[in-house]
Amino acid sequence: VCRLHGRYHEMAPNVVPMDYTKDPDVKLPMQLIINMPELKENPFKERIVGSFSEDGEGSLSFNDFVDMFSVLSEMAPRELKAIYAFKIYDFNTDNFICKSDLEQTLNKLTREELTAEEITLVCEKVIEEADMDGDGKLGFADFENMISKAPDFLSTFHIRI
Amino acid sequence: DDDSNEEDGGGQQNGASRRKNYQRKNRDRKKAGEEGSKQRDRGKKAPTKDQKESENKEKKTTRKGKEGENKQEKGRKNSISSTSSHSSDEESLSEEELAMLMEQVEQKKKLISTMRNKPWRMVKKLSVLREAQAFVEKFEGALGKGKGKKLYAYKMMMAKKWVKFKRDFENFKTQCIPWEMKIKEVESHFGSSVASYFIFLRWMYGVNLVLFGLIFGLVIIPEILMGMPYGSMPRKTVPRAEQATAMDFSVLWDFEGYIKYSALFYGYYNNQRTIGWLKYRLPMAYFMVGISVFGYSLMVVIRSMARNANESTADGDDDNFVFSWKMFTSWDYLIGNAETADNKFASITTSFKESIVDEQESNKDENIHLRRFLRVLANVLIICCLCGSGYLIYFVVKRSQTFSKMQNAGWYERNEVEIVMSLLGMFCPPLFETIAALENYHPRIGLKWQLGRIFALFLGNLYTFLLALMDDVNEKLAEEDVVKNITYWTLLGHHNLSVGNDSSATPPPLDPADVPRGPCWETTVGIEFVRLTVSDILVTFITILVGDFIRACFVRFVNYCWCWDLEAGFPSYAEFDISGNVLGLVFNQGMIWMGSFYAPGLVGINVLRLLTSMYFQCWAVMSSNVPHARVFKASKSNNFYMGLLLLILFLSLLPVAYTIMSLPPSFDCGPFSGKKRMYDVIQETIELDFPVFVAKIFSYVANPGLIIPAILLMVLAIYYLNSVSEAYQRANAELKKKMQMQREEEKNKRNNKASTNPMLQDLEDLLTPSTKTESNPKQAEDKKTESPERTSPVRKPGKGGVLNGSPMTSGRGAAFIPPSHVFVTQPLALGVRAPYPGQPRPRGHPMGLIPGRGRGQPRY
Summarised one tens digit per residue, pLDDT across range B111-147 is 777 777 676 767 777 788 888 778 777 766 655 555 5
- Are residues A26 and A59 both part of a single domain? yes
Asked if A111 reaches chain B (Cβ–Cβ under 8 Å), the answer is yes
Judge whether residue B513 has pLDDT over 90: no
A33: domain CATH number is 1.10.238.10
At a CB cut-off of 8 Å and minimum separation 6, what does A80 contact? A71, B47, B116, B117, B118, B119
CB contact under 8 A, B750 and A84: no
Are A64 and B121 a contacting pair at CB < 8 A? yes
Q: Does A88 touch chain B if contact means CB atoms closer than 8 Å?
A: no
Q: How close does chain B come to A97, measured CA to CA in Å?
A: 12
Interface contacts A/B by beta carbons within 8 Å: 198
Whether residue B419 is found in the same domain as residue B535: yes
Q: Do B117 and A42 touch (CB under 8 A)?
A: no
**Which B positions 65-94 lie with beta carbon below 8 A of chain A?**
65-69, 72
CB B271 within 8 A of CB B671: yes
pLDDT, greater one: B478 or B94: B478
- Cβ neighbors of B514 (< 8 A, separation 6 or more) are B239, B240
Query: How much of chain B, in percent, has pLDDT values that exceed 70?
Result: 65
Of the residues A52, A72, A92, the one at which a domain ends:
A72
Q: Decide which of A23, A49, A72 is a domain's last residue.
A: A72
CA distance B764 to chain A (A): 25
| Same domain as A44, residue A28 | yes
Share of chain A above pLDDT 70, in %: 95
CB < 8 Å to B72, chain A: 20-21
Q: Does the residue B432 lie in any domain?
A: yes
Asked if residue B23 is part of any domain, the answer here is: no
Touching B: A residues 16-45, CB under 8 Å = 20-21, 37-38, 40-44
Between A84-93, B198-207, B306-315, B660-669, the lowest mean confidence (pLDDT) is in B306-315
User: What residues 109-168 of chain B have any CB closer than 8 A to a CB of chain A?
Assistant: 116-119, 121-123, 126
Q: Could you give the 3-state DSSP secondary structure of residue B94?
A: coil
What is the model's pLDDT at position B506? 57
Contact status, residue A58 vs residue A100, Cβ threshold 8 Å: no
Q: Which long-range contacts (CB under 8 A, 24 or more apart) does B310-317 make?
A: B310/B50, B311/A154, B312/A151, B312/B635, B312/B636, B312/B639, B313/A148, B313/A149, B314/A149, B315/A149, B316/A151, B316/B635, B316/B636, B317/B859
Inside any domain, residue B773: no
H-type alpha helices, B783-841: 807-816, 819-833
Verify that A38 and A92 share a domain, yes or no.
no
Q: Say if residue B387 is in the same domain as residue B430.
A: yes
Q: By the CB < 8 Å criterion, does A59 face chain B? A: no
Per-residue CA distances from B107 to A96, B57, B732 (Å):
33, 14, 31
B63 with A150: Cβ contact below 8 A: no
Contacts of A3 in chain B (CB under 8 A): 65
Does A7 share its domain with A68? yes
Q: Is the Cβ pair B636, A114 closer than 8 Å?
A: no
Q: What total number of domains does chain A contain?
A: 2
**What pLDDT does B292 receive?**
92
Listed range (A152-156, B200-204, B248-252, B315-319) with the worst mean pLDDT:
B315-319
Q: Does A115 touch chain B (CB under 8 A)?
A: no
* pLDDT mean over B230-255: 74
**Contacts with A88 from chain B: Cβ below 8 Å:** none
Q: Are B777 and B810 in contact (CB under 8 A)?
A: yes
Q: What is the residue type of B175?
A: Q
Put simply, the answer to whether A42 touches B325 (Cβ < 8 Å) is: no
Same domain, B170 and B257: no
How buried is residue B791: exposed, middle or buried, by Cβ count under 10 Å (0-12/13-18/19+)?
buried
| Range from B124-128, B508-512, B712-716 carrying the lowest mean pLDDT | B508-512
A149 plus A127 within the same structural domain? yes
Q: Are A86 and A115 within one domain?
A: yes
DSSP-assigned states of every residue in A73-87 = STTS-HHHHHHHHHH
Cβ contacts of B335 on chain A, cutoff 8 Å: 41-42
Query: pLDDT tens for residues B46-69?
Result: 333 333 333 333 333 334 334 333
Strand-pairing partners, residue B653, are none
Q: What domain range includes position A37?
A: 1-72
Shared domain for B155 and B194, answered yes or no, is: no
Same domain for B716 and B698, yes or no, is no
Contact predicate A148/A141, CB 8 Å: no
Residue B324 domain-assigned (yes or no): no
Contact between B349 and A110 using a beta-carbon 8 Å cutoff: yes
> If you average pLDDT over every residue of chain B, what do you get?
70
Number of domains forming the structure of chain B: 4
Is A151–B636 a contact, with Cβ atoms under 8 angstroms apart? yes
Sign of the Cα pseudo-torsion (B580, B583, B588, B594, in order): negative
* CA–centroid distance for B608 within its chain: 22
Residues found in chain B? 860
Cβ atoms B119, B46 nearer than 8 A: no
Residue B348 inside a domain? The answer is: yes
Cα-based angle A8, A10, A14 (whole degrees, multiple of 5): 100
B324-328, B347-351, B763-767, B792-796: least confidently modelled range: B792-796
Asked if residue B185 and residue B169 are part of one domain, the reply reads: no
**Alpha helices (runs of H) in B53-191, residue ranges in sequence order:** 53-56, 67-90, 95-113, 122-143, 149-176, 180-190
Q: Would you mind telling me the total number of residues written for chain A in this entry?
A: 161
Report the largest interatomic distance among the alpha carbons of chain A, rounded to a whole angstrom. 55
SS3 call for B636: coil
Domain range for residue B139?
A: 97-175
End-to-end CA distance of chain A: 11
The residues near B450 (Cβ < 8 Å, ≥ 6 apart) are B429, B432, B433, B436, B579
Pick the closest to residue B44 from B127, B125, B134, B101 (CA basis): B125
Are B582 and B193 contacting, i.e. CB atoms less than 8 angstroms apart? no
Q: What is d(CA B820, CA B616) in angstroms, rounded to the nearest whole number?
A: 79
- CA distances (Å), origin B325, targets A130, B184, B400, B839, B847: 10, 25, 56, 22, 19
Residues A81, A155 share a domain:
yes
- Give the up-direction half-sphere exposure of residue B640: CA atoms within 13 A in the CB hemisphere: 16
- Asked if B737 and B846 touch (Cβ cutoff 8 Å), the reply is yes
Per DSSP, the three-state class of B463 is helix
**Which residues of chain A make contact with B122, given a CB cutoff of 8 A?**
61, 63-64, 66-67
| Shared-domain flag, residues B137 and B243 | no
Q: Does A148 touch chain B (CB under 8 A)?
A: yes
Q: Are B34 and B111 in contact (CB under 8 A)?
A: yes
Q: Which residues of chain A are within 8 Å of residue B636 when distances are taken between CB atoms?
A: 151
| Distance between first and last Cα of chain B | 46
State which residue of chain B sits closest to A34, comparing Cα positions: B336
Q: What is the C-alpha to C-alpha distance for residues B476 and B470, in angstroms, rounded to an integer? A: 10
| Partner A, chain B 601-640, Cβ-Cβ below 8 Å | 633-636
Is residue B480 in some structural domain? yes
With respect to residue B362, please indicate whether it lies within any of the assigned structural domains. yes
Q: Which residue of A has its CA nearest to B119?
A: A80
**Do both A99 and A144 map to the same domain?**
yes
Q: In terms of domains, do B309 and B392 share one?
A: yes
pLDDT score of B554 more than 70? yes
Q: Between the CA of residue B286 and those of B158, B455, B525, what are the distances in Å?
A: 41, 32, 17
Tell me which of B42, B73, B122, B353 to substitute to probe the interface with A (most A C-beta atoms closer than 10 Å): B122
Q: Is B621 exposed, middle or buried (0-12, 13-18, 19+ CB in 10 A)?
A: buried
Shared domain check, A50 and A91? no
Q: What is the DSSP string of chain A?
A: -HHHHHHHHHHSTTTS-S--TT----EE-HHHHTTSHHHHT-TTHHHHHHHH-SSSSS-EEHHHHHHHHHHTSTTS-HHHHHHHHHHHH-TT-SSSB-HHHHHHHHHHHHTT-S-HHHHHHHHHHHHHHH-SS-SSSB-HHHHHHHHHT-TTHHHHS----
**Which chain A residues are Cβ-neighbours of B62 within 8 angstroms?**
1
In chain A, the residue whose alpha carbon lies closest to the alpha carbon of B859 is A151
- Contact A97/B at CB under 8 A: no
Question: So what's the pLDDT on residue B765?
Answer: 66
* pLDDT over 70 at B507, yes or no: no
pLDDT band at B28 (very low <50, low <70, confident <90, very high): very low
pLDDT of residue B716: 96
Q: Does A86 touch chain B (CB under 8 A)?
A: no
Instruction: Tell me if A126 and B324 make a contact (CB, 8 A cut-off).
Output: yes
pLDDT tier, B209 (very low <50, low <70, confident <90, very high otherwise) = very high
Count CB atoms within 10 A of the CB of residue B693.
Answer: 8
pLDDT tens, position by position, B593-625: 988 888 888 999 999 999 999 989 888 888 877
CA–CA gap between residue B211 and residue B607 (Å, rounded): 9
**pLDDT at residue number B61:** 37
> Residues B844, B848, B852, CA angle at the centre, nearest 5°?
110
Instruction: Give the pairing type, strands A27-28 and B625-626.
Output: unpaired
DSSP B670: S
CA distance B6 to B14: 12
Residue B759 scores a pLDDT above 70: no
Q: Does A56 touch chain B (CB under 8 A)?
A: no
Tell me the pLDDT tens digit for each residue of B409-463: 667 776 777 778 777 877 787 788 788 777 777 666 677 777 788 888 888 777 7
Interface contact B47-A78, CB threshold 8 A = yes
Highest-pLDDT range among B169-178, B238-247, B283-292, B504-513: B283-292
- Tell me the C-alpha distance between B31 and B132, whole Å: 11
Q: Does B51 touch chain A (CB under 8 A)?
A: yes
Give the residue-averaged pLDDT of B248-277: 78
Q: Does B174 touch chain A (CB under 8 A)?
A: no
Calpha distance B359→B762 (Å, rounded): 32
Phi, psi angles (nearest 5°) of residue B793: -75, -170
Chain A residues with CB under 8 Å of B338 CB are 40-41
**Range picked from B357-371, B465-479, B565-579, B763-777 for highest mean pLDDT:** B465-479
Chain B contacts of A118, Cβ < 8 Å?
Answer: 352-353, 356
Predicted local confidence at residue B299, as pLDDT = 93
Q: What gap in Å lies between CA B827 and CA B512, rounded to an integer?
A: 100
Strand partners, A97: A138
Going B746 to B747 to B750 to B756, the CA torsion angle's sign is negative
Chain B touched by A141 (CB under 8 Å): no
Contacts of B788 in chain A (CB under 8 A): 128-130, 132
CA distance B788 to chain A (A): 5
> Is B488 near chain A, with CB under 8 Å?
no
A29 and A83 in a single domain? The answer is no
For residues B569 and B593, give the distance between their C-alpha atoms in angstroms, rounded to a whole number: 42
Find, in chain B, the residue whose alpha carbon is nearest to that of A159: B334
3-state secondary structure of B275: strand
The pLDDT value recorded for residue B297 is 93
Cα-Cα-Cα-Cα torsion A10, A13, A18, A20, nearest 10 degrees, comes to: -90
Whether A19 and A68 share a structural domain: yes
Quickly list DSSP for B184-229: HHHHHHH-HHHHHHHHHHHHHHHHHHHHHHHHIIIIIHHHHHHS--
| For helices B637-662 and B282-311, angle between their N-to-C axes, nearest 10 degrees | 160
pLDDT beyond 80 at B188? no
The string of pLDDT tens digits covering residues B762-819 is 666 666 655 544 444 444 444 443 333 333 333 344 333 333 333 334 334 334 434 4
Is the pLDDT score of B644 beyond 50?
yes
Domain check: are A94 and A27 in the same one? no
Whole-number CA gyration radius for chain B? 37
- Nearest by CB to residue B335, choosing from A1, A41, A146, is A41
Chain A residues within 8 A of B320 when measuring between CB atoms? 129, 149
User: B651 and B689 in one domain?
Assistant: no
Q: Residue B328: list chain A partners with CB under 8 A.
A: 85, 89, 105, 146-147, 150, 153
Answer with the residue of higher pLDDT: B30 or B727: B727
Verify that B110 and B259 share a domain, yes or no: no
The CA distance from A55 to A64, in Å, is 10
Same domain for B347 and B201: yes
**Pair (B235, B167) in one structural domain:** no
B843 part of a folded domain? no
Q: Which of residues 175-194 of B touch A (CB under 8 A)?
A: 180, 184, 187-188, 192
pLDDT band at B78 (very low <50, low <70, confident <90, very high): very low
The last residue of one of the domains, among A13, A47, A72, is A72
Contact B327 A102 (CB under 8 A): yes
